Structure 1
Amino acid sequence: MQAPSPHSVSKEDFPWWLVAAGVIAVAAALAIVSSDVYSQIFSTVATGLWVTLFVTIVGFGLASALGLGIALMALSGSIWLRQIARFYVEIIRGVPILVLLFWIAFVGAPAGVAAWNWALAPLREAGYVGEVMVRDFSLLWRAIIALTIGYSAFIAEVFRAGIQAVDKGQIEAAKALGLSRTQRFRLIVFPQAIRTILPPLGNDFVAMVKDSSLVSVLGVADITQMAKVYASGSFRFFETYSIVAYVYLLLTVSLSLGLRALERRLRRGHAQ
């Protein structure tokens, strides 16, 4: 009996959920086009799309860089660096993102501005620089910093697990070849670890798209904030938040499908 091809899809595996989601998405798009009310709401909400994408992309990029640094500290030979990394990860993961947003915006930012002004006091007295005010630190960047710090702890664990999953024998072989620690990481460890890291890293990116809606509590003009302003003025809460859910679903489902396709491609390339 011939075994089924690994690329064949059974009736049970066929993505009927995607077909149903596609039908709903098309129906919703037709409703938006054909209705003046929904079209107006969609146009209003869409003005916050670029802010949502900017917050997500910049925040995730910074969180990934910081998370990688924390992961390398956790894997270092220094017990002090390992303990600092573990302290950071456990503390930050224990704080809800919303609380972290408020803390950074209304505690961390004023404290940072005060420290900056104190450090530059001699230059300010000499007339070289002016005093920085808290309002000069935009709420957009306060939100990005909060998301960066919050997600870096989770991403650090993703990097750490992926790096530790690399076969130790290959690392020992690289040492025997005389490769430095940096060369081993760049040429041997990271290219293999990325296959393990990519799926959970992609999940974190999709999660950040959704959590970026939390920045609306600071008044940042993202999708959710624009919807909140429109709904409070028009009292069309059902229509407005239905459009918001539709836009976020389009973003997250599209990203999830793209990440799955990339994951399958990497898996096929590794198998070959």
Structure 2
Amino acid sequence: MTILVTGASGTVGRSLVTQLLAAGHGVRALSRDPERAALPAGAEVVRGDITDAAGLARVLDGVEAAHLITFGGDGYEALENGPEIVAALRTAGVGRVSVLGGWDTSTLEPALDAAGVPWALLSPVEFMANTLDHAEAIRAGGEVRVYDGGRTSAAVHEADIAAVALAVLTGAAPTGRRYMLTGGEAVTLEQKLAAVSEALGRPVTLTRLSEDQARADLAVAGLPPEAVEFTIALENDPPPVGSIPVDTVREVTGRPPRTFAEWARDHVDAFRAHAPV
């Protein structure tokens, strides 16, 4: 079967493209910049943007299932054209849809429900790949300077998110439900950095800033005031769901979720001094 993957050059999309190809499926990968997507050989990379429903309609010919994201554009804004996207899916006869959801509901999810399209929502509590936010500091000298409230995170490996999406798209897992996705363990930032240090074979240190120091650093980095305060509040009062592992990955795929140590080894090159910026 031929499956459309939107967000194909992102962490989850890239892993999904790889896994679909390995399973013998045809992949049509949507990218705003096909020349720079660097996706695996075998994928049909087409130019497009999920925010452009008319353009999406042009790439759906022959597509039997689609993996969609709920955001688009340079600022990752929530989709506002959900009904138009769903209309294009229905016209093309797309039979199954997986949706990588965000913190908030976009216009896509209710449009899928209203149209009766078979779909499932993938809801990661946190991405292990968020640790790449510290890659520049680790490459530069190995010191990560942040405000750290000691919260734990049951973050999930993008390859496990992709594996659940593959199961939904190919009929191995049912549509009509929300898949809450976590890793198998809740770890602190200090433990994450220790895993990166182990993978690198050199020290990575955590320097804990005060709230005021963190506010100043985040403002210098360009975060708007509301984003700065959200970041601080998330450390001080994290939602409990983010630190509670659930067994969805094992239930869907038949194997345990990947550990953070595995993620660190998979991505170690991103933290090396020679890694491209």
Rg (Cα) greater in structure: 1
Same fold (TM over 0.5): no
TM-score, normalised with respect to structure 2:
0.23
Larger strand share, 1 or 2 = 2
Higher relative contact order (CA 8 A, sep 6+): 1
Larger helix share, 1 or 2 = 1
